Amino acid sequence: MEMSKQFYPNYSYSPKKIMLTKLIFPPQWIPTQPYLSLPALTAYLRANNCDIEQIDVNVSFYDNLLSKNGLADYLDRARSKFQELETRKELSPELQKQYAALCSSILFGDYVINGVEDAKKILKSKEDFYDIEKLFKAFKILELDLKLASSAYYPSNLTFHSYDMRHSCRSSKAVLEAINDRKGNLFIEYFEKCTLPEVLKGNPGLIGISIINISQLIPGLTLAALIKKASPGIHINIGGSVFTRLINEISKNKELFSVFDSVIVHEGETALLKLISHLENKFNIRDIPNLIYKDGSEIKINRLSSGGEDINSLPTPCFDGLPLDKYLSPELVIPILSSRGCYWNRCTFCDHGYGYSGKYRPREVDLLFNDIKTLKDKYNTSYFTFQDEGLAPKMMGALSDKIIGNKLDISWLADSRFEPSFSGEIGKKLSLAGCKMLYFGLESANERVLKCMDKGIQKENVIRICKHCKDAGIWAHLFLIFGFPTETHKEARETMDFILANNEMIRSMSFGSFQLTRHSKVYENPSLFHVSKIFHDDEIDLSLWYDCEVSEGLSKKETEEVIQEFYDKLAHKYVDLPIWSNLDREHLFLYIAHYKRSVNKVTDLSILIRNIQKRKKTVQIPRKNSDFHPILNEGIFIGAFNFNLARIIHSGLSGNIPGNISNEKVNVLFDIDNNRIFTISDLAKSIISKSNGGSTVSEIIDHIKEKYNIPYNEAKSKCESFLNGLIEKNIVSIK
């Protein structure tokens, strides 16, 4: 606690008449917790007497879109586009895809708009969030909300993890087209209406936009361009790891500098402070480290700082001003960093270290403990996620001693490495200090592949450490990579078998195929790793990774097959796979913390799935008599369309697009949960429309008999066989 005196008691924040700087975190990023870049910069700049406001545009954007009013604008737009297509005589293959996307607004627009507020409440409720069935249902509605909004800007597609447009975000030319594409860019109107007024308020002199993921590139630069247009005098700076990895390309690209004025690469604290001084006429722009800027018609690159920030002089991150109640989580989960850089920094596929300026720098344990305590008290939360590439066991042990000694009641997760020094004693200590979950990068269980990756891991340590985690009640999550250059089928299978044989200790994992990242050792020495071809494309100048071919080992297609095989095997072995493979990191962490029953027992989430399975086993038996009330299950919708929607969707899925199709009236039944669509007759539609829980089967039979003027026995047999079929397909239930 003493340590905080270094920063806070001397520092009373009272903005004078100095330039206002606003820091912005743009969409698209998963809005489950605040991202650390803005709070870290805000704390540092405020401690240096700058007038700073931080705005998480990403969370505000999602909060608006996942609301009744916010979605209404998108829904209106989607419906008017749908009506326009509906009046056509025929649809081209491209319009068929758009039609299929827009039909969602007709089929389940009302369902989503009426359910979205409750769904959002479930994600924020300290009770409902932990009911996995309710949570999955809420996610379904929120995902449909994003799908509906996307359809209004077809072919753009927004999810919680990505934003894609017809323009590639890996090409500067395409990005510059995207930021002016009002028809396809989902953000322009929103930013104009909701973001610009907030950003321009108070006449800031500098706006810093943090872009830490490629999915933020188009929205982030769209916002930059709108600010530039609205107020050309504001200096716009782009920071974050994306442009850091693209230094060479950015510094040659004058067109990009038409939407911003400068870029800060690597670590930003000192550079941003000096940029503020420069804009207040107190500092020469040429002396600002890590800055790339436009000087007349030229782009200049200043000296790159070799050492990075002194991590022990940085203040505790400051989350003030962020809308902490808007994050999609029942608890505020605070991100924290115990170090900068990776102390291993050798893995040949990885370029994480490239984002930092200097070597690995851990923060002193006392300072780190003080950060956690300060943040816990200030923001009234007990949940922390370490954002480091890897916490060393020694650092985790020392921090745990402080947490235990001071009886600080917190829950946390961290990334770690399979270090020989990770002992059973350390495991127990971490658990006592509130560690609920550890992430480890194993990547492969084959010794030869591990050596090629330079992971510095011995297999015997992996088992031993996972066992220590299990004994200490810590959930161990592993990262795996399939298809590393030269990896054979046999070696990939060794990884699969290893996981499946140790599933009691290895509780969950994330896995994917090898990606050739821009600054990795494999990229820099392809022949050493038998990478025979790298697909460079001058147009794709902003890519952080490349497609490649290997002369030895699994091909791309074979890797995908291995991944599918592994996933299928996991589904048999891990009952709780639907939970850990679907929940985002912070949400899974909260589940693990919530359902933990004792300090030395790993949380068992499989019970939640078994309970659902038990409930579902109470299968409904179709009845012969006609006194029951059929009711359409939730997530089932019927609609009438002027084109054959079921055919369009099926041909889209099979890839057999038939060419232009003509106007043809059809009724469809759509099952959201199982993604099924059926064409149904008018008579079937009438039966389903009456299956609302209010009519008995006898009443429905009478209705059909009258409406279609058919004999009673025919109406009875049609109704009963159709309804029994729907009950078997889990489309209709009995009330």
- Residues of this chain that interact with ligand SF4 (CB under 6 A) are 342, 344-347, 350, 352, 389-390, 417, 441
What residues contact 283, with CB distance under 8 A and at least 6 apart? 274, 277
H helical segments located in 540-644: 556-573, 577-580, 585-594, 606-616
Query: Closer CB to ligand SF4, residue 352 or residue 629?
Result: 352
Residue 514, CB-side half-sphere exposure with 13 Å CA sphere: 33
Query: Closer CB to ligand SF4, residue 453 or residue 645?
Result: 453
Shortest reach from residue 484's CB to ligand SF4, in Å: 12
CA distance linking residue 721 with residue 717, whole number of Å: 6
Shortest reach from residue 481's CB to ligand SF4, in Å: 10
3-state secondary structure of 555: coil
Shortest reach from residue 457's CB to ligand SF4, in Å: 10
Shortest reach from residue 441's CB to ligand SF4, in Å: 5
CA distance linking residue 136 with residue 122, whole number of Å: 10
Shortest reach from residue 348's CB to ligand SF4, in Å: 9
Shortest reach from residue 390's CB to ligand SF4, in Å: 5
Question: How many CB atoms sit inside 10 A of residue 403's CB?
Answer: 22
Query: Closer CB to ligand SF4, residue 123 or residue 350?
Result: 350
Burial class of 594 by CB neighbour count within 10 A (0 to 12, 13 to 18, 19+): middle
CA distance linking residue 240 with residue 268, whole number of Å: 8
What residues contact 193, with CB distance under 8 A and at least 6 apart? none
Query: Closer CB to ligand SF4, residue 146 or residue 413?
Result: 413
CA distance linking residue 312 with residue 363, whole number of Å: 5
CA distance linking residue 308 with residue 354, whole number of Å: 12
CA distance linking residue 678 with residue 667, whole number of Å: 8
Query: Closer CB to ligand SF4, residue 91 or residue 413?
Result: 413
Shortest reach from residue 600's CB to ligand SF4, in Å: 28
Residue type for 709, please? N
Query: Closer CB to ligand SF4, residue 343 or residue 591?
Result: 343
Closest by alpha carbon to 604, among 613, 594, 612?
A: 594
What's the DSSP call for residue 359?
S
Closest by alpha carbon to 580, among 610, 606, 602?
A: 606
Query: Closer CB to ligand SF4, residue 344 or residue 383?
Result: 344
Contact 328, 123 (CB under 8 A): yes
Shortest reach from residue 527's CB to ligand SF4, in Å: 21
Residue 624, CB-side half-sphere exposure with 13 Å CA sphere: 0
Shortest reach from residue 453's CB to ligand SF4, in Å: 8
Shortest reach from residue 342's CB to ligand SF4, in Å: 3
Query: Closer CB to ligand SF4, residue 352 or residue 685?
Result: 352
Burial class of 502 by CB neighbour count within 10 A (0 to 12, 13 to 18, 19+): middle
Shortest reach from residue 511's CB to ligand SF4, in Å: 14
Query: Closer CB to ligand SF4, residue 39 or residue 441?
Result: 441
Shortest reach from residue 434's CB to ligand SF4, in Å: 23
Query: Closer CB to ligand SF4, residue 289 or residue 362?
Result: 362
Shortest reach from residue 534's CB to ligand SF4, in Å: 20
Query: Closer CB to ligand SF4, residue 453 or residue 646?
Result: 453
Shortest reach from residue 349's CB to ligand SF4, in Å: 7
How does DSSP assign 199-231, residue by residue? HHTT--SEEEEE--SGGGHHHHHHHHHHHHHH-
How does DSSP assign 402-463, residue by residue? HHHHTT---EEEEEE---TT--HHHHHHHHHTTEEEEEEEEE-S-HHHHHHHT----HHHHH
Query: Closer CB to ligand SF4, residue 212 or residue 701?
Result: 212
Query: Closer CB to ligand SF4, residue 442 or residue 715?
Result: 442
Query: Closer CB to ligand SF4, residue 314 or residue 350?
Result: 350
List 299's β-bridge partners, or say none.
Answer: 294
The single residue listed with the structure tokens 């959002």 is 120
206: phi then psi, degrees, rounded to nearest 5: -140, 135
In Å, how far are 423, 630, 639, 678 from 725, measured between CA atoms?
59, 12, 19, 13
Give the tokens for residue 701.
């039979």
